[in-house]
Amino acid sequence: MNRRRFILQSSKAGVALSLGATLMACIDQNTDTVVQPKKSKVIALCTWGFSEANAAAGKALESGSTALEAAITGVAVEEANIKNSTVGKGGAPDREGNVTLDACVMDANGDCGAVVCVQNITHVAALAKVVMKETEHVMLAGEGAEELAYRHGFQKENLLTEKAAEDYRAWLKTSKYEPIINIENHDTIGMLCMDQHGDIAGACTTSGLSYKMKGRVGDSPIIGAGLFIDNEVGGAAATGMGEEIMKQVGSFLIVELMRQGKSPQEACEVAMQRIVSKNKDINKFQVAYIAINKAGATGSYCIHPGFSRMEYRNGKNTRIPSAAHFTN
């Protein structure tokens, strides 16, 4: 008999060795030995230390989700996390006390969708996908996006939590606007996923800078700035001072640098150099980039130390501190 592999669950041994939804041990009939499943090459990576969100995306990928679905599943964890003050519900409001959210998604076909300045809806990355799939447009703002959400069954929710309202009242005493470096004020989630077919997609979602001007929109929902995917090359996402990322169209630039042969790490560094070289006051703000290429190599770079990315690979979710322009 030729070498044949049987799933153990149905083998004469009758032993089930289920190693997860898509990974099953097999038996080699000739040698009667167990053949371990090949590790799936799925990868999820995201900005900052969002381990739960990244693991959710990784597990979704392991069980066969597309890269886009997995990214939306992953970032949804942070959108619902009321302790995260710059994403989704629990996000800090603008200067008028309104929480307004921005998000975008981009898939392996190069399709994309975005929503900006949306109130009362928690899962704005999923809403960006609705814009992509159900409308002729790429971006919807404010009330139009909110109305679309209700038409597609999204719940109306008060996004301003007690804690965020309390912090806002404290902020009003001085009303001083100071974008703070690192996690205190920057924890937008940008996520890049590679699925079992090797396809790449991503999502980026934020409440933007705390106490921003009414109507202010940052880089996160801007295709090419907060997120860009070209499934032939790779993908990139950004977090930090949106105005600076938009000026350099940061994520698009990283993908183009990878197209020219740079590794994800080199591409993040070269793209950051543009920001550094064009700004006299890089002490005042943080920017961080993450990237992945088609071969599954990844990288990240930031201006100030303190940024890290989460990476789910071979079933393991790891926090990887990022190299920085400044060493301390």
Q: Which residues are at the interface with ligand SD4 (CB under 6 A)?
A: 86, 186-188, 206, 208-209, 218-220, 239-242
Q: Hey, what are 111's tokens?
A: 């399709």
Least Å from the CB of residue 87 to ligand SD4: 8
Tokens of 27: 């038996």
Q: Which 8-state DSSP code applies to residue 24?
A: B
Inter-CA distances, 115 with 158, 184, 190, 230, Å: 18, 24, 15, 20
Nearest residue (CB) to ligand SD4, 167 versus 199: 167
Q: Return phi, psi of residue 28, to 5°.
A: -90, 115
- 204 φ, ψ (degrees, to nearest 5): -145, 130
Q: How many helices (H) and strands (E) does the chain have?
A: 8, 16
Show Cβ contacts of residue 2 under 8 Å, excluding neighbours closer than 6 positions: none
Count of CB atoms situated within 10 Å of the CB of 143: 11
CA 9, 13, 14 angle in degrees (round to 5)?
35
Of 86 and 248, which has the nearer Cβ to ligand SD4?
86
| Minimum CB distance to ligand SD4, residue 188 (Å) | 3
> For 28-184, where are the alpha helices, taking DSSP H only?
51-62, 67-79, 124-134, 142-151, 162-172
Nearer to ligand SD4, 42 or 237 (CB): 237
Residue 188 annotated to the active site: yes
Copy the structure tokens of residue 59: 């597990």
CB of 207 to ligand SD4, least distance (A): 8
CB 278 → ligand SD4: shortest distance, Å?
A: 17
Task: Please state the closest distance from residue 241 (CB atom) to ligand SD4, in A.
Answer: 6
- Closest CB 246 distance from ligand SD4, rounded Å: 8
Output b/e per residue, 257-294; b: 16+ Cβ within 10 A.
Answer: bbeeebbbbbbbbebbeebeeebeebeebbbbbbbbbb
Query: How far, in Å, CA of 241 to CA of 50, rounded?
Result: 19
Instruction: Name the catalytic one among 73, 100, 188, 205.
Output: 188
In whole angstroms, give the CA distance from residue 73 to residue 236.
18
Catalytic positions are 188
